[in-house]
Amino acid sequence: MWTFVNDKFLPREEATLPITDLALQRGYAAFDYLRTVNGIPLFIEEYIERLKNSATALRLVIPTENEWWVSRISTLIEKNKIPHSSGIRITITGGNAPDFYTPVAPNIVIDEHPLTMPGEALFNNGLHLFTYDYQRDLPAVKSINYLMAVWLQEAMKAAGADDILYQKNNIISELPRANIFLISDANEILTPDKNILEGITRKKIVENAASLGKVIKKPITTDALWQAKEIFICSTTKRILPVTTIDNRTIGDGQPGPITKALHEQFIIMENEIAAGKFQNI
């Protein structure tokens, strides 16, 4: 497998970063993650824009021309020739800081690996979540700081849960690696509007959902979870997955709901059309 590091393509086993890099010393770095289908990167321009926004927020200076990124990502895809589906992670570090504290010229790493998407069984069974009182620092930034999410893995498994839903003062926000949607009794499609990373998959769902119900972005309380007919999460690596229990309480009838299923089918059709060159891939 090939990796891109600071304008060089290298075998992954030869890719290194200096130990003075702020990503290692202080956990200071931005990243983004996109997916390919049959060698076609999905929504590449939008992922690049979000990456640039994260870098700007962290005061990291990177190339601003989308063509610079598209060229290198495309070359990496061609060199690796991963069949079916792959994940591409772009990391922008804080750089090799002499004082171990001040961001300098960043190191840029682009890595690709084979990716298996969730299967039908996981979709049909739905996910079990548990809530935790926490708000990420700089939530609009996709940073490498997953301290709380990793630390909570033991508690999550002990609770028999599949993932964690963050809430603060009884207002839900997001999962460590996914956004969340609720379907109300009135078939309103609800999603939190603040203190979240605005996912690209979330954006596509909002764009596609109008035919199925009114989409509303607003603060959502934990109490609203128990009133929802359906709940689902979404992300680059998950597409759309139903949630059937939260904190051991059943959501709706405990089965994936019709709106969740319809949105999931829409998303897969869109993916296939992009891979076939029938859909504008932005």
Angular region, 81: left φ>0, alpha ψ -120 to 50, beta rest: left
Confidence of residue 169 (pLDDT cuts 50, 70, 90): very high
Check residue 280 and give its pLDDT: 57
Confidence of residue 276 (pLDDT cuts 50, 70, 90): confident
Which of 114, 146, 169 is at the close of a domain? Answer: 114
Question: 135 and 159 share a domain?
Answer: yes
Question: 256 and 127 share a domain?
Answer: yes
Average pLDDT over residues 12-31: 97
Number of domains composing the chain: 2
Check residue 275 and give its pLDDT: 87
Mean pLDDT of the chain: 96
Question: 11 and 137 share a domain?
Answer: no
Which of 114, 136, 151 is at the close of a domain? Answer: 114
Evaluate if residue 6 carries a pLDDT over 60: yes
Average pLDDT over residues 208-222: 95
Question: 160 and 251 share a domain?
Answer: yes
Average pLDDT over residues 154-176: 98
Evaluate if residue 279 carries a pLDDT over 80: no
Question: 99 and 203 share a domain?
Answer: no
Evaluate if residue 281 carries a pLDDT over 80: no
CB-based contacts of 95-101 (< 8 A; 24+ apart in sequence): 95/21, 95/22, 95/60, 96/18, 96/20, 96/21, 97/20, 97/21, 97/22, 97/25, 98/20, 100/20, 100/22, 100/25, 100/26, 101/22, 101/25, 101/26
Check residue 254 and give its pLDDT: 97
Average pLDDT over residues 75-82: 98
Question: 18 and 44 share a domain?
Answer: yes
Average pLDDT over residues 92-120: 97
Question: 9 and 61 share a domain?
Answer: yes
Span 56-67, pLDDT tens digits: 999 999 999 999
Whether residue 57 is contained in a domain is answered as yes
Whether residue 278 is contained in a domain is answered as no
Question: 130 and 110 share a domain?
Answer: no
| Residue ranges making up the domain that contains 80 | 2-114
Evaluate if residue 47 carries a pLDDT over 70: yes
Evaluate if residue 278 carries a pLDDT over 80: no
Q: What is the CATH number of the domain that holds 202?
A: 3.20.10.10
